[in-house]
Amino acid sequence: MISAQHLGHLLDLARRDLADRRHALALARAHLRPDHPDLMEIAARCERAAAALAELESAQRRAA
């Protein structure tokens, strides 16, 4: 089982990762066509990162 300290660290990393991905998405939106495959892939990765963060936050609430 994961410790609360490790879970907190994972949450911090996941939040930073999501922020970085959202920043990349904003940059891509500024420079690419809305239907560009790279833009769609970056958006999909943001969605997956957001879902992973939500799962970690849920695990933290359950552990508390």
pLDDT mean over 25-41:
94
Neighbour tally for 59: CB within 10 Å: 14
Neighbour tally for 7: CB within 10 Å: 17
pLDDT mean over 16-45:
95
Average pLDDT, the chain: 92
pLDDT, tens digit, 9 for 90 and up, residues 35-61: 999 999 999 999 999 999 999 899 888
CB 14 within 8 A of CB 52: yes
Which three-class secondary structure state does DSSP give residue 64?
coil
The pTM is what?
0.81
Q: Which residue has the higher pLDDT, 53 or 1?
A: 53
pLDDT mean over 4-12:
89
> What distance in Å separates the CA atoms of residue 54 and residue 38, rounded to the nearest whole number?
24
